[in-house]
Structures are given as structure tokens and as C-alpha cells.
Amino acid sequence: MKLAPKFLGAEGSVLHGSRNVIRNLRKYFNGWGISKMGDKTIIIEDYNNKWPEMFFGLKSIIERRLGDLVLRIEHVGSTAVPGLAAKPILDIDVVIDSMDLLPDVIQGLESLGYVHEGNLGVEDREAFARKDANVPYSILEIPKTEHHLYVCNKESKELVRHISFRDALIRNPGYAVEYGNLKKELAAKYRGNRQSYTDGKSEFVYRVLTESEKKL
């Protein structure tokens, strides 16, 4: 079975063998904050109907600050899939036309309290941490939403991976149920071992992206 380079290929090559798949999927999941969370206990919650509302609240704040620098803002990761069990942490991709705009984007996000962390080894995708749990909210009393924030150019392969996987799960609710059950099983089995948890999802993600590519 082959997977199109635009999903998981390294420098345009097609993957062969499970080791390459695992290695590239680790990078894929690192795109959703896995690498930054260490070995904290993994918590998987049933789908929360408030997650979309939380996303739109964050989206509004970021759009107001960055203005025309932004092409669009995407809710990605498991919290973007209706009905899917997930870690209660939103994943957000801010899409820009070109990385030439990045200095201005960094300045705007820093004014909201984000800290630029670089690409963390993922090309065309820049990671941003929060100075504290209140970022980017200006009203201290409102509930805060934990989230991972990334800036991608519109041609970013990482962005394509995020959206392709999200959309595949939305189109096929059976995938979402299977994935949610798998995550709960892995979280119970590995608890604080985030790398083993991530590796345990790799085969499923590979299969979903492969089958989705065949249908395009």
C-alpha cells in the first residue's frame, strides 16, 4: 500500500515500511502539540458541544488582531470532529499567504501574549505557546480554553495533513467512532507515556489518509 507524498512523504518521496510511517506520523502528531506536552497524564473526554464555540471565540480574537495578514483560521485536530472523543485541547492553524508575512504575524500574536517557538522541526508551520492560561483573553473572569496555536502558509504540507485527516473523519462517522475508541484504549493503557500513545494511533491515521487519497 502506498500513500501519496502530499500526506506523509518526506521531501516528496513515497513512504515504504512501518518504520518510515511511524517516524513521519510522529512528526504529524507533533504538529498538534504532542511534542510539547511531555509525559503528562493523557485525558480523553467525550465530545463537548462547546468546542466549536470555544474555537470561534479564539478565532475572533486572533482575526481582530491580525486582520488582513490572515487568509483563514482552521479548527483542526480531534476537537474539530463532531462526536469524536478527544483531549480537551483545541488545535488551531492560522493560515497566511506567505511566510514573508511571519514577522508581522509574530508581532501581532506576541501582543496577545503568545510566544513564538519556531517550527519545532516541521517545515512551513510555526508554533506559538501561551505566556499564561489567560492568553489571549482580555477579560480574566471568562472561562479559558486550552489550545495549541500554529501559523502555516497556504501551501504547507502540515496544513494539508491536518485538514485532510479532519475532513476524512467528518465525512465518515465510522472512522470517528473507531478513532475515539482507539484513543480511549490507548490512553488507559499508556496513561503518561505520550509517545507510545502517539505510536499506537499511527496505523489508524495512515489507513485513513491512504483511503481518503484513493477517493480523491
**For the chain, which residues make up each domain, given as ranges?**
39-193
Q: Report pLDDT digits (tens) over 140-157.
A: 657 789 999 999 999 999
Beta-strand relationship, 90-96 and 72-76: antiparallel
Q: How far apart are CA 196 and CA 60, in angstroms?
A: 35
pLDDT digits (tens, 9 = 90+) for 158-215: 999 999 999 999 999 999 999 999 999 999 999 889 999 999 999 999 999 998 887 7
- What per-residue confidence (pLDDT) applies to 2? 38
Please choose, from the candidates 8, 66, 77, the residue with its C-alpha nearest in 3D space to the C-alpha of residue 37.
77
73/87 Cα distance (integer angstroms): 20
What are the strands, taking DSSP E only, across the chain? 72-76, 90-96, 114-118, 125-130, 147-153
**Residue 23: half-sphere exposure toward Cβ, Cα within 13 Å:** 9
Residue 18 C-beta-side C-alpha neighbours within 13 Å: 6
Residue 132, classified by CB atoms within 10 Å of its CB into exposed (0-12), middle (13-18) or buried (19+), is exposed
On the question of pLDDT at 216 being above 90, the answer is no
Residue 204 pLDDT:
96
Residue 88 has pLDDT above 70, yes or no: yes
99-103, 131-135, 147-151: segment of lowest average pLDDT: 131-135
pLDDT band at 98 (very low <50, low <70, confident <90, very high): very high
* Yes or no: domain 39-193 corresponds to CATH 3.50.50.100: no
State the average pLDDT for the chain.
85
Model pLDDT, residue 214: 76
Grid cell at residue 139: 477579560
> What does the block give as the cell for 206?
495512515
Number of H helices, E strands in the chain: 7, 5
CA–CA distance, 168 with 178 (Å, rounded to integer): 13
